[in-house]
Structures are given as structure tokens and as C-alpha cells.
């Protein structure tokens, strides 16, 4: 600010003292406005000041601010305008002005809906918010009450105000995005917590009627469904077990036809039923979705759902939640049927089945194909359900995230904690947040949502396959090995402590360059801590030897060689921990 004042003083040294004082007063005013804008990160408050300050100073009776959000322009703030225009949206096609202009003189885009709208409501002046040569939005003002045209000094003042407001608006938009991400995380965590609570309730009873009640309570309480029908299959077809909100005649009219369609493998909207006649009939009678009850590839029945109390359409998260909920309920119902035969065994199997289904959904079924790289991952649990985790996430065509971790404990708690980690990582990693910050956010999330004895050793990295760079953070995990094509081995150990131990911990990021033939080998402690009959560990030295010996082979063959070595070393000793490996190799 001081340099700018000196510059003006030199430029206008021939001006009168009054003119210089006027300019200094204007700069002081802009400086005070800048302080006001920077005092808050609330978008509404910032936009309110951006509108009210010039409207009050220049006696402008009406104005609006339009911002670009989610690939659309939207009216975020208006003053002196009818309320019907608030939240109005416009397409992002067409070129936006890069500098202030009178609306009726901007001939490049007078046919754009924004400028057509501006002319229709008699707005006169357009002031763009420009950041890095892109338009964040526009401030549009009506004519002054004095009916005099905007002077050059007034437009310069508005331009200066827009320039100062730009960074405040950008910061506020970023804060809103972070709040949205946090809201999605909270919703996902709440959903997982609800599923866990429901799973506990289902596994706590082997009574058919109580299981159905829990299922119904979940539908009504979590999904806000008030109309539903539960149909079970027997040798005669489908029969109604529970029905609320539909007439029996309507539900029975669908029974035989539901058995004729291809069985969906998950909950679907009725519009996705592959029989158009049945689909239209279901929708006509108020049935919005159906969920198959499947056990061991055998159809046990269907659940038919009406609309939500809010009248909102069932979204993909609702369907995913319903699919998981129904699969848990099906397992419980089957366990109840077999209760008399294998009471104790089924009680244990129920918990394991719930957790196993949850874990299978979290581990990747297939890995993305990365050009010029060979990637392979494998997880072999020791007791059906474990705490190991790995994932490969496609961020864009040039960036891929690789993650591997080991959750403390076993069974359902470990699987649930793994689910929290996966959901949070998949949301954060695609926001293109720095990798060290991602690790810090995950650490805070795990610390605040788990008991002190729950933690995760974790390694995450992002591969830039175009530049062959790999940036990573190691949060207390076994250091992955970087085996160079010449056999030299490096440990990737830059990062910090394990996730969940301390809040607000700052992690460091490391970076390596992948050369042709270089091999990245990551693993969990089920590999190096495998025990033989003499109670000796497999150890780091044997592990390194296997990696360097087989480094010229494909990723899968390296994993096979490692597992074969572990199996041969362990002999008849039971496997004490999960074996998980994630291997990446740059092709030569």
C-alpha cells in the first residue's frame, strides 16, 4: 500500500494538493474495505460487503453478484431485486468479460443468458472477478439514483474493490468446498456407524421376527421410508411377509412377474428393472425401488420400497446403504433358519460374515491399468476377516493413488475402522489436497472417531505416471522397498507416526523418481513376521532377498514368489496375521 501511495504521489506530483488528498483518501478507504473483506471467510458476509459498500457510496439502488459453482453461474447475492431472482442459475458457455464494461456495450456476448437477464432487469455495469485469467463471477449494478453515468474514477474504484474481493471470495469458496467435503465425510461415517449398529443388532438375535423388525426400523429411521413390502420365496412362489402402505392385491399382482426378471445383484430403482412393462407398473403403484434378498446365489425374496417422507428421489448412497443392509439382514435370516442345527457356530459365523462382506466391498475387485506400469495387489486374511487394507485410486489419467495399511485388531471393529479410512481417503484424494495434508486429515479423523487403542499403520502415495514421480507419506507403516533395476534397495520411510495416535500431527512428504525397471514393493507385517515351527520370524533380510532375486519378473510373479517363500518358511505353523502386498513396477 505504501509503495502504491508513493507511486501515485510521483505520478500526480503536478496535481493540486486537493486532488492528491482525494486520491489518498480513496486509497485509505479501499484499504479499510480490504480489512473488512479479509476479516471473514463467510461467503455471504463477503458478498454482502462487496455489494453494499459501492451501492451506498455511489448511490446505486440495486445489484447482484453471480459466481461460478459446479459448472454453472448462480446468483449468490442480490440487493434491491425481487426475491424470485435469488439462486437463479445460468450456463457457463460463452466468453465472460475480463474487465469492467457497460452491459449494453459488451457486444461479444450480449446473447449470453446472463447479459440478456441483466438487460431485462435494467442492470447497467458489469465488474468481473478475475483470478489467474479465469472468471470467478460478476458483479452487476443498476444505474445510479442520480441518473448520471459512471465516471472513470467510480469504475476504477469498483475495479479495485473487485480485485481486493477476489482473493476473499476464492478463500470463502474453498472453505465452502471443505465444509461440503466434511459434510460428506460425516454423512458417510454416520452411515457406516449406523450399519455397524444395525449389524450388531442383527447379530444379537436369531429370532426371525426380531430381525425383520430391525430391518423395518432401519428402513424407516435411516432412509425415512414409510411404505414397504417384504416378500419371501417358497416352493409356491413369492408371498407377503410384511406390508405397510400398499394393498395386498397390488403387491400380489407383481409376485409372479418378479420371479421372471433377471435377478439384480443389488438394490435398484424400479426404472432400472429390465422389464419395461413391470417397471412402469411398479412406478405407477408408488414403488420406487426394489432390493433382492440373495443368499449363496439363491433368491430368497424381495423388499419393495415406496418414496421417502421428504419426497426426494432415492440416490446412489441410499441404494448402496439398502444393498448392504439387506445383505446383512439376509445373513441373519438364514442364521435364524439354521439356529436349531448349529446355534453356537452360527452366532460366530454371523459376525464374521457381516465383517467379511464389509471388507470385500472395501478391497478393490480390480486394479486400474496404468500405462507403462505393472501393478498387482493381494490380500490373504488370516482369520477370514482382518485389518489389512490396500487400494489403488484413479485420480485422473496421469495420477494414481496407492495406499496400504494395517488396522489394529480383527473382525468387525477392524473392518469398520478400515471402512472409515477408505471412505475418507477416497473423498480427500480426489480433492487434490497435498499428500501430507491428506495424511494429517486422516489422522485427525481416526483419532476423533476411535478409542485410544485403535490405530492404523498407513502408507499412501501418488504416482504421476507422465513424469514418473511418486510422492508419498509413510505413517508408521513397514517401509516399502524401492528396488532399482540394478538391485539397489531404498526404504520409503518419510512421513510420521501411525494414524490415530496424536491429534493435529504434521506429516512430511517424500518423493522418488521411477526409472525403467524400478520396483515398488509394499507389504503388511504378515509378510516379515511370519513364524516357522522354531518360532523364528521370516524377517526383513529374507524379504529383501526375495524382492531383489525376482525383481525382473512381473508384479504378480513377485507376489507369488514371496507368498511361496513365506509358506515354505512357515511350514505347518498357523498364519498369525494377514498377508497383504501391493506392488508397482515401471516397465523397462
DSSP 454-514: --EEEEEEEEETTTTEEEEEEEBPPPPEEE-TTS-EEE---EESPBTSSTTPPP--EEEEP
Q: What string of H, E and C letters represents the secondary structure of 532-555? A: CCCCCECHHHHHHHHHHHCCCCCH
Residues 6+ apart with CB under 8 A from 174: none
Length in residues, the chain: 588
194 or 87: which carries more pLDDT confidence? 87
Cell numbers 510521483: residue: 10
DSSP 281-314: HHHHTT--EEEEEEETTEEEEEEEE--BTT-PPP
Number of domains in the chain: 3
Q: Which of 34-43, 170-179, 217-226, 561-570 has the lowest mean pLDDT?
A: 34-43
Prediction pTM value: 0.45
Q: Above 70 in pLDDT, residue 246?
A: yes
287 or 28: which carries more pLDDT confidence? 287
Same domain, 285 and 142: no
Cell of 526: 504378515
183 inside domain: no
CA–CA gap between residue 265 and residue 215 (Å, rounded): 19
Say if CB 264 and CB 280 are below 8 A apart. no
Instruction: Give mean pLDDT, residues 340-363.
Output: 65
CA–CA gap between residue 461 and residue 479 (Å, rounded): 12
Mean pLDDT rounded to a whole number for the chain: 83
| H-type alpha helices, 12-142 | 17-38, 43-58, 113-120
187 inside domain: no
7 or 168: which carries more pLDDT confidence? 168
196 inside domain: no
Q: Residue 520: its pLDDT value, please?
A: 98
DSSP 411-429: HHHHHHHHHHHHHHHHHHH
CA–CA gap between residue 67 and residue 75 (Å, rounded): 7
Q: Above 90 in pLDDT, residue 557?
A: yes
Instruction: Give mean pLDDT, residues 499-522.
Output: 95
Q: Above 80 in pLDDT, residue 399?
A: yes
Same domain, 78 and 154: yes
C-alpha distances in angstroms, 185 versus 128, 367, 424, 441, 497?
34, 24, 6, 11, 23
Q: Residue 206: its pLDDT value, please?
A: 62
Range of the domain at 220: 204-354
Q: Above 80 in pLDDT, residue 521?
A: yes
| H-type alpha helices, 222-370 | 248-258, 276-284, 316-337, 343-362
Same domain, 308 and 375: no
Instruction: Give mean pLDDT, residues 319-330.
Output: 82
Same domain, 281 and 386: no
> Coil, helix or strand for 3?
helix
Instruction: Give the CA dihedral 457, 463, 468, 473, nearest 10 degrees.
Output: -30
185 inside domain: no
CA–CA gap between residue 332 and residue 339 (Å, rounded): 10
Cell of 212: 425383520
Q: Is 6 left (phi over 0), alpha (psi -120 to 50) or beta?
A: alpha
Q: Residue 4: its pLDDT value, please?
A: 45
Same domain, 350 and 386: no
Say if CB 455 and CB 498 are below 8 A apart. yes
Count Cβ atoms below 10 Å from residue 448 Cβ, excluding itself. Answer: 9
Domain of 398: which CATH number?
3.60.40.10
69 inside domain: yes
Q: Above 50 in pLDDT, residue 404?
A: yes
Same domain, 258 and 373: no
195 inside domain: no
Same domain, 288 and 167: no
Q: Residue 356: its pLDDT value, please?
A: 66
Q: Above 50 in pLDDT, residue 7?
A: no
Cα-Cα-Cα-Cα dihedral sign, residues 533, 537, 541, 543: positive
- Percent of the chain exceeding pLDDT 70 equals 84
Cell of 65: 453478484
Residue of 326, 280, 271 whose CA lies nearest to 302: 326
User: Roughly what angle, to the nearest 10 degrees, separates helices 276-284 and 248-258?
Assistant: 160
Same domain, 314 and 413: no
Q: Above 70 in pLDDT, residue 345?
A: no
Cell numbers 424407516: residue: 220
Same domain, 237 and 288: yes
Backbone angles phi, psi at 8, to 5 degrees: -65, -40
Same domain, 382 and 504: yes
Most confident of 326-330, 359-363, 450-454, 510-514: 510-514
> Coil, helix or strand for 518?
coil
Residues 6+ apart with CB under 8 A from 350: 202, 203, 331, 332, 335
* Final residue belonging to a domain, choices 354, 382, 412: 354
> Taking the mean position of all CA atoms in its chain, how far away is CA 234?
41
428 or 244: which carries more pLDDT confidence? 428
199 inside domain: no
CA–CA gap between residue 455 and residue 458 (Å, rounded): 10
Same domain, 517 and 466: yes
* Final residue belonging to a domain, choices 294, 321, 354: 354
Residue of 472, 519, 465 whose CA lies nearest to 494: 472
Using 50, 70 and 90 to split pLDDT, how confident is the model at 14?
very low
Count Cβ atoms below 10 Å from residue 213 Cβ, excluding itself. Answer: 14
Q: What is the pLDDT of residues 272-316, one digit of tens each?
A: 888 888 888 888 888 888 888 888 888 888 888 888 887 778 888
| Count of CA atoms in the C-beta half-sphere (13 A) of 92 | 12
Same domain, 576 and 555: yes
Q: Which helix (H) or strand (E) holds 561?
A: helix 555-570
436 or 3: which carries more pLDDT confidence? 436
CA–CA gap between residue 505 and residue 496 (Å, rounded): 8
473 inside domain: yes
215 or 485: which carries more pLDDT confidence? 485
Q: What is the pLDDT of residues 71-84, one digit of tens each?
A: 888 888 888 888 88
Q: Residue 8: its pLDDT value, please?
A: 47
CA–CA gap between residue 409 and residue 456 (Å, rounded): 10
Query: DSSP state, 202?
Result: H
Q: Above 80 in pLDDT, residue 562?
A: yes
Q: What is the pLDDT of residues 357-395, one digit of tens each?
A: 767 677 888 999 999 999 999 988 775 556 788 999 999
Bridge partners (DSSP) of residue 470 are 463, 512
Using 50, 70 and 90 to split pLDDT, how confident is the model at 544?
very high
- Percent of the chain exceeding pLDDT 90 equals 28
Q: Residue 207: its pLDDT value, please?
A: 73
Say if CB 228 and CB 306 are below 8 A apart. yes
> Coil, helix or strand for 369?
coil
CA–CA gap between residue 549 and residue 561 (Å, rounded): 10
Cell of 247: 394393498
Q: What is the pLDDT of residues 117-153, one digit of tens each?
A: 888 888 988 888 888 888 888 889 999 888 888 888 8
Q: What is the pLDDT of residues 52-107, one digit of tens each?
A: 878 888 888 989 988 888 788 888 888 888 888 888 888 877 778 888 888 877 66
Domain of 141: which CATH number?
3.30.450.40
Q: Residue 468: its pLDDT value, please?
A: 97
Q: Which helix (H) or strand (E) holds 265?
A: none
Cell of 466: 507422465
Amino acid at each position: 500500500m505504501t509503495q502504491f501511495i508513493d507511486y501515485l504521489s510521483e505520478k500526480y506530483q503536478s496535481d493540486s494538493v486537493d486532488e492528491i488528498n482525494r486520491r489518498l483518501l480513496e486509497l485509505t478507504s479501499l484499504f479499510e474495505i480490504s480489512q473488512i473483506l479479509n476479516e471473514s471467510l463467510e461467503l455471504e458476509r463477503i458478498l454482502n460487503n462487496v455489494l453494499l459498500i459501492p451501492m451506498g457510496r455511489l448511490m446505486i439502488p440495486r445489484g447482484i453478484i453471480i459466481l461460478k459453482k459446479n459448472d454453472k453461474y448462480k446468483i449468490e447475492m442480490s440487493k434491491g431485486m425481487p426475491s424470485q431472482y435469488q439462486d437463479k442459475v445460468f450456463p457457463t458457455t460463452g466468453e465472460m468479460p475480463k474487465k469492467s464494461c457497460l452491459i449494453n456495450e459488451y457486444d461479444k456476448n450480449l446473447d449470453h443468458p446472463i447479459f440478456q437477464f441483466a438487460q431485462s432487469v435494467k442492470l447497467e455495469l458489469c465488474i468481473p472477478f478475475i483470478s489467474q485469467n479465469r472468471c470467478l463471477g460478476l458483479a452487476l449494478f443498476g444505474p445510479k439514483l442520480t441518473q448520471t453515468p459512471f465516471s472513470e474514477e467510480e469504475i476504477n474504484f469498483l475495479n479495485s474493490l473487485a480485485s481486493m474481493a477476489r482473493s476473499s471470495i476464492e478463500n470463502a469458496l474453498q472453505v465452502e468446498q471443505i465444509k461440503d467435503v466434511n459434510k460428506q465425510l460425516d454423512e458417510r461415517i454416520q452411515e457406516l456407524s449406523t450399519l455397524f449398529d444395525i449389524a450388531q443388532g442383527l447379530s444379537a438375535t436369531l429370532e426371525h421376527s426380531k430381525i425383520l423388525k430391525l430391518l423395518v426400523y432401519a428402513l424407516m429411521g435411516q432412509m425415512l421410508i414409510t411404505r414397504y413390502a417384504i416378500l419371501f420365496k417358497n416352493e409356491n412362489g413369492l408371498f407377503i411377509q410384511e406390508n405397510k402402505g400398499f394393498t395386498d392385491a397390488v403387491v400380489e399382482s407383481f409376485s409372479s412377474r418378479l420371479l421372471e426378471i433377471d435377478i439384480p445383484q443389488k438394490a435398484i430403482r424400479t426404472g432400472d428393472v429390465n422389464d419395461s412393462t413391470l417397471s412402469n407398473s411398479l412406478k405407477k403403484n408408488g414403488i420406487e425401488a426394489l432390493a433382492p434378498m440373495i443368499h449363496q446365489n439363491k433368491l430368497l425374496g424381495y423388499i419393495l420400497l415406496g418414496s421417502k417422507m421428504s419426497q426426494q428421489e432415492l440416490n446412489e448412497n441410499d441404494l448402496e446403504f439398502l444393498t448392504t443392509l439387506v445383505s446383512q439382514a439376509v445373513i441373519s435370516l438364514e442364521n435364524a433358519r439354521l439356529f436349531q442345527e448349529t446355534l453356537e457356530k452360527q452366532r460366530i459365523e454371523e459376525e464374521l460374515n457381516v465383517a467379511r462382506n464389509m471388507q470385500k466391498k472395501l478391497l478393490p475387485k480390480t486394479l486400474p491399468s496404468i500405462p507403462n506400469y505393472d501393478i498387482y495387489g493381494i490380500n490373504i486374511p488370516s482369520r477370514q476377516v482382518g485389518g489389512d487394507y490396500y487400494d489403488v485410486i484413479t485420480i485422473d489419467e496421469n495420477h494414481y493413488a496407492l495406499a496400504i495399511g494395517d488396522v489394529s485388531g480383527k473382525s468387525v471393529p477392524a473392518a469398520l475402522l478400515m471402512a472409515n479410512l477408505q471412505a475418507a481417503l477416497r473423498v480427500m484424494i480426489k480433492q487434490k489436497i497435498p499428500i501430507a495434508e491428506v495424511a494429517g486429515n486422516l489422522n485427525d479423523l481416526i483419532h476423533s472417531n476411535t478409542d485410544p487403542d485403535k490405530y492404523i499403520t498407513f502408507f499412501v502415495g501418488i504416482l504421476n505416471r507422465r513424469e514418473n514421480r511418486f510422492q508419498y507419506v509413510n505413517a508408521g507403516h513397514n517401509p516399502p522397498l524401492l528396488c532399482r533395476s540394478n538391485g539397489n534397495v531404498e526404504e520409503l520411510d518419510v512421513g510420521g507416526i501411525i494414524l490415530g495416535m496424536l491429534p493435529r500431527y504434521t506429516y512430511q512428504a517424500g518423493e522418488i523418481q521411477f526409472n525403467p525397471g524400478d520396483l515398488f514393493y509394499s507389504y503388511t507385517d504378515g509378510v516379515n513376521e511370519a513364524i516357522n515351527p522354531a518360532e523364528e520370524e521370516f524377517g526383513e533380510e529374507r524379504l529383501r532377498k526375495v524382492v531383489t532375486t525376482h525383481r525382473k519378473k512381473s508384479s504378480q510373479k513377485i507376489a507369488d514368489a514371496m507368498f511361496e517363500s513365506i509358506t515354505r518358511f512357515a511350514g505347518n505353523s498357523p498364519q498369525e496375521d494377514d498377508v497383504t502386498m501391493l506392488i508397482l513396477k515401471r516397465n523397462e
